[in-house]
Amino acid sequence: AEMAALNLFVGFKGDAEEMKLPRRNLWLFPSWDHDLNCERFKADWSAPFPVVFIGFPSAKDPSYSVRYPKHQVALVISSVPYEAFEQFENRGKEYENIKQVFKDRLMNCLLREFPQLEDKIEVVELGTPLTFDHFLRSHRGSFLGLAHTRHRFECDWLS
């Protein structure tokens, strides 16, 4: 199963320093065995995400608070097998339901690490593999439009 992009965008009301937003990225893994993490998740989508990235672009940009006073943003990124969304190309109620499940799971990852943000949330949007396909014309929801398969890295010119 190809892994595809899952991006959660969260907007907050408040000051970055008061909210204690870090200027560094956070990477979360269920274990150090990354292959096992991926295999478990591919076999059972309710298993922990194989990797979760959390970043606060607004906290890293000194001009952000001038441009958007008292507003902050977080980006929570993970991946999901494309097959989780493939059947919902025409969207609909089932798509919205599964999208909500993954949105809630990524929000839980964020709030587990940063519980002080829960009452500051203003907006939450989830970009699914279908979102990537639609807006970025990516290949099966892949990050940056590139298929993430071992074949991509087997080119002679890469070694």
Q: Is the pTM of this model over 0.75?
A: yes
pLDDT in tens, 89-121: 777 798 889 899 999 999 999 999 999 999 999
Q: Using the structure block, give the residue that is written with the tokens 């890293």.
A: 60
Structure tokens at 145: 């439009």
In order, the DSSP letters of the chain are --EEEEEEEEEEES-TTTTT--SS-EEE-SSS-HHHHHHHHHH-TTSPPS-EEEE-HHHH-TTHHHHSTTEEEEEEEEEEETHHHHTTTT--HHHHHHHHHHHHHHHHHHHHH-GGGGGGEEEEEEE-HHHHHHHH--STT-GGG---SGGGG--GGG-
> Measured at the alpha carbon of residue 22, what is the angle toward residues 16 and 25, in degrees to the nearest 5?
135
pLDDT in tens, 45-72: 899 999 999 999 999 998 999 999 999 9
pLDDT value of residue 157 = 61
